[in-house]
Structures are given as structure tokens and as C-alpha cells.
Amino acid sequence: MAAIACMLSEHFGVLTAHNLEGAMRLIERPHACRLAYYEVGDDADVAREAIHVLGNAGMEVIALFRPPCPQIVQEAAASGRIQGCCALPICAESFLAQSREILCRLCPAPSREPAQPCLLTREEVKFLLGPPGIGQRDARLHSLG
């Protein structure tokens, strides 16, 4: 988990928690975060409850698991309760691509407070756009055509 936090912290603010209770205290803060990575253990009931609690708190959930993929992860993915899953150990490229895709489609969190401006840093914009390459080349070709 430390490696995951390190990868993401280059682009986004990262909150880490040892357990579900600690995570819930952190995400209660306004605008703290919207995406949760949850490592699924051997206890399916604990995992089911954690996914439910995180989802009810407005979090998008990516389940992390050790192969083979647990039944609870398959069920949660099929029902839309989790937005992604990654096998451990994580392939960095796949993990970042999946995280980028989910973060790009997140809508602003509903809030009862007046809207506050949200600016992305250059690093966050660069992360969301992905690595330079085909997408940027295609944009240049399209603008020339």
C-alpha cells in the first residue's frame, strides 16, 4: 500500500488509513477524497461491509486482491459496487491507467456548502491526460486536417 500511496502522491493528495474506521474519519472531511483503494482479505463478510460503507460514504472503490480473484470482488464488480479491481502485486502501468480513467469520470461530490473553486495543479493535469504519445499526436494531426 505504501508503494501505491507513493505513486499517487506524485499527482494527487493521498490519505492513508490502517483500517476502515480510520479511513472513515479521514473521508468525513469535506472534499478529502473520492477514490478508495481497499485491499480485500480472506474474510468475505468484512470485505462486503467495507465496500458497502465506503460506497455509502460517496467513495468510488477499487478492490485490491491477491489472486485468485475472490468471489466477493467478482460479485461487487458485477453489481457496480466497485469501479475497478487490481491483482496484487500491482502492475504500475495498469494501476495508474485504471486510476486515471476513474478519476477522469468522477463528477464533483454533492455538497450542501456553496461551491468552491477547484483548481488542478500542472502535475494533476499531466497525470489525468496520461503519458505523451498517441493521443497528443492524433490531436495535432486532427488540427492539421
Q: What is the CATH classification number for the domain harbouring 52? A: 3.40.50.2300
Interval 82-128: pLDDT, tens: 998 889 888 888 888 888 888 777 755 555 565 555 666 777 777 77
- Expressed as residue numbers, the domain containing 6 is 2-117
130 within domain boundaries: no
Residue type, 31: H
129 within domain boundaries: no
pLDDT at 66: 93
Do 73 and 98 meet the contact criterion of CB atoms below 8 Å apart? no
CA distance 40 to 65: 5
CB atoms within 10 A of CB 76: 23
123 within domain boundaries: no
132 within domain boundaries: no
Provide the number of structural domains found in the chain. 1
pLDDT at 75: 95
Do 61 and 81 meet the contact criterion of CB atoms below 8 Å apart? yes
12 within domain boundaries: yes
53 within domain boundaries: yes
- The pTM is what? 0.66
What order of strands is seen across the sheet that includes strand 35-39?
35-39, 60-65, 84-87
CA distance 38 to 127: 22
Interval 30-80: pLDDT, tens: 666 778 889 999 999 999 999 999 999 888 898 999 999 999 999 999 999
Q: Cell numbers of 118, please?
A: 477547484
64 within domain boundaries: yes
32 within domain boundaries: yes
Structure confidence at residue 143 as a pLDDT band (50, 70, 90): very low
